[in-house]
Amino acid sequence: MTLSRRAVLAAMAGGALAGCAGPQSTVDRSASVTGSPSTSAAIATGTSTPGSSPSATAPSASRAVTRADIVARYGHAVPHTWGFDAPAVVHALPTTRRVIALTFDACGGPGGSGYDRALIDFLRRREIPATLFINSRWIDANPAIFRRLAAEPLFEIANHGTRHRPLSVTGRSAYGIPGTRSAAEVYDEISGNQTKLTRLLGTPPRFFRSGTAYCDDVAARIVTALGERFVSFSVNGDGGATFTPEQVRTTVAAAPGGSIVICHMNHPRGGTARGITAAVPQLLATGHSFTRLSDALH
């Protein structure tokens, strides 16, 4: 039976992005399934106030941005938003064509280091490209699997953080997960896994998504300063790996062109694989195609 939008919303509210949070997480109820993600948690509007501008000039482009650079530039900046929206955060593809970006998070840590082989094998069989946001802890738990995924042109590897923290300069939490507490910790969360991925891939990752996908506007600016683009989502495809297969199918199959869909590849016992396996043929039959983020965002 096809689920109503209300049913999908209710189910999603119970586990919005809990697939990254682990089984003991407290749920934040501000996420939405489609369209621009909710900004109900924003604490103000705008991007800056007097006194929040960087306290030092940008470092020379001839050298890497350091932790000290980030602290000097953003250590006293005051955030004005909290949630899924911030300036420069990407929520959708810049197209109205029937193109969809499937993205899958691998979060790592307690309750989150599994590998959904059925999901990945389906994408391989149908030659469906996808972007995989992988956390440092998941790589450590699955080194051989990571190497194989990284070697496949079908998949693109992106940065899902070092300790899987919401990206905050003030310690705000999401889904019961404490956020980073300062500009220095934001740097650590991004750059730790950035360095690991650069070493393993031979080139730095282009895209970043924080643990839970939450960030404030100052933290989002730090992502940009470190050479990556913060990518959120427009369709929450599996409710943090809590949706049933039918809920996943219904939600993903309804994704409009230009959507960035977030799902999870670290919970093989969830409904994600079966839901994606059912939704993708429906989307293909209606003229949709799929893309990696790097092939759509320039």
Q: Using CA atoms, how far apart are residues 63 and 258, in angstroms rounded to an integer? A: 36
Q: Is 5 left (phi over 0), alpha (psi -120 to 50) or beta?
A: alpha
Find out whether 238 and 263 touch, Cβ atoms under 8 Å: yes
pLDDT at 32: 37
Is the pLDDT at 268 greater than 80? The verdict is: yes
Separation in Å, CA 125 to CA 118, 119, 120, 184, 248: 10, 10, 9, 43, 20
Which pTM was predicted?
Answer: 0.84
- The candidate with the shortest Cα–Cα distance to 261, out of 111, 178, 21, 250, is 250
| Residue-wise pLDDT tens digits, 1-12 | 433 333 333 344
**Structure tokens of 123?**
């994408």
Find out whether 19 and 107 touch, Cβ atoms under 8 Å: yes
Higher pLDDT, 60 or 237: 237
DSSP 88: T
DSSP 167: B
**Structure tokens of 51?**
């006194």
Burial class, 298, CB count within 10 angstroms (exposed 0-12 / middle 13-18 / buried 19+): exposed
What confidence category does residue 24 fall into, taking pLDDT thresholds of 50, 70 and 90? very low
| Residue-wise pLDDT tens digits, 123-176 | 999 999 999 999 999 999 999 999 999 999 999 999 999 999 999 999 999 999
Q: Using CA atoms, how far apart are residues 157 and 61, in angstroms rounded to an integer? A: 25
| Residue-wise pLDDT tens digits, 63-107 | 799 999 999 999 999 999 999 999 999 999 999 899 999 999 999
Higher pLDDT, 238 or 17: 238
Q: Using CA atoms, how far apart are residues 140 and 146, in angstroms rounded to an integer? A: 9
**Structure tokens of 78?**
């005051």
